Structure 1
């Protein structure tokens, strides 16, 4: 489960990358962690808007911690947000971390997409009493991520699929929840 990633770009650069209007907001730090604010791009009334949201959906009734990764796409907990294009977002990323090793001796391993300075996780968001929050989808890991984290990896969208993620019907977008090609990624040594 990915619980740490980086966005090594300014709000201005992100807005340019996505062709988005940048909302007036305090920029989050370069490193993103659950329960903190992170960048998100949403489609609002026909235009893309870049702003910040809290990372983590309120937990289901029997849960305790915010839910930061969307793994079971068939779950009723996610059904409404996935079905409604207005509740989908892009989560800008420059690299993400998975942890490797035994408890107490874990080391952080960083993955990137060298051909894309900024890439996108497929996200969903919703409004809460404390403001908007987001989580992003995960899928089976590809051949590069699996040796480090065999359970899952974030859903990375190809740039040409970003608009479809934000506007398509659920039957068009669920197939996007697939492992990103490992040959297009790199693992920092």
Structure 2
């Protein structure tokens, strides 16, 4: 499971990496995001109806309407930010988006908590020459229209696909990890059939990953805060 990640890529770097023309960048003036939480804004690479790649802001978490068990009346919807790989092809909640609305979710690191009171926050990322090599999660998206937080909202929502953890992540989170895609698989995830895309859902090799930082109270990718203060 992933409930916290960072995307500190410069906007131009996202365009280059994900082959998005500047005219199709709809992020506005995007700032580095050292801590993205559920219900927060998360940039995503989404295909337009004609197959053009766009960069868009999304609400991280599919909106799941809820009703009170006591009164039966609608209450604040839940944001479901992780989509389990074993549910993608069977759940009515996930299946339509997996089959027709897959996206790339840019990131530079993700965090898992280990233990409680206090928890140790472990930030994972990729090995490489850069301090925080960029990558993309396998994502899915859908639109939401309706009451949210007491007001009518129209949102593009996203969720990150998760799978079984590799050896590096398993010590911190023994059940799940987000699916990280190889650059050569970006096209396939976006445009191939659901059957072909499902084959890309595998744990990223532990040998190609690293722990960037860990400790108590680290709910922010400190590399960004340290560099911005320099």
TM-score (norm 1): 0.92
The structural deviation recorded for 1:61 is 5.0
CA contact (8 A) 2:27 2:57 kept: no
Matches for 1:83-94 after TM superposition, within 5 Å: 83-84=99-100, 87-94=101-108
Instruction: Determine whether 1:25 maps to 2:47.
Output: no
Shift of 1:159: 0.7
Counterparts of 1:109 and 1:60, CA distance in 2: 32
Q: Give the gaps of 5 or more residues in structure 2.
A: 68-75, 146-153, 214-230
- Contact 1:25 1:52 (8 Å CA) reproduced: no
TM-fit CA distance, 1:27: 2.3
Contact 1:6 1:32 in 2 (8 A): yes
For structure 1, which runs of at least 5 residues remain unmatched after alignment? Answer: none
> Which has the higher Rg, Structure 1 or Structure 2?
2
- Offset at residue 188 of structure 1 (A): 2.5
Matched, 1:99 2:104: no
CA contact (8 A) 2:5 2:35 kept: yes
1:43 aligned onto 2:47: yes
Structure 2 residue 133 is matched with structure 1 residue 126 = no
Q: How many residues align?
A: 186
Aligned to 2:61: 56
| Other structure's SS at 1:16 match | helix
Structure 1's consecutive aligned runs of 4 or more residues displaced over 2 angstroms after TM superposition are 24-30, 60-65
Q: For residues 79 and 47 of structure 1, what CA distance do their matches in structure 2 show? A: 23
Q: RMSD in angstroms over aligned alpha carbons? A: 1.8
Partner of 2:148: none
Asked if 1:70 is matched to 2:95, the reply is: no
Corresponding residue number in structure 1 for 2:202:
178
User: Is contact 2:65-2:78 (8 Å) kept?
Assistant: no
Note the C-alpha offset of 1:30: 3.0
Report the alpha carbon displacement of residue 51 of structure 1 after superposing the two structures with TM. 1.6
Counterparts of 1:106-121 in structure 2, within 5 Å, are 106-115=119-128, 117-121=133-137
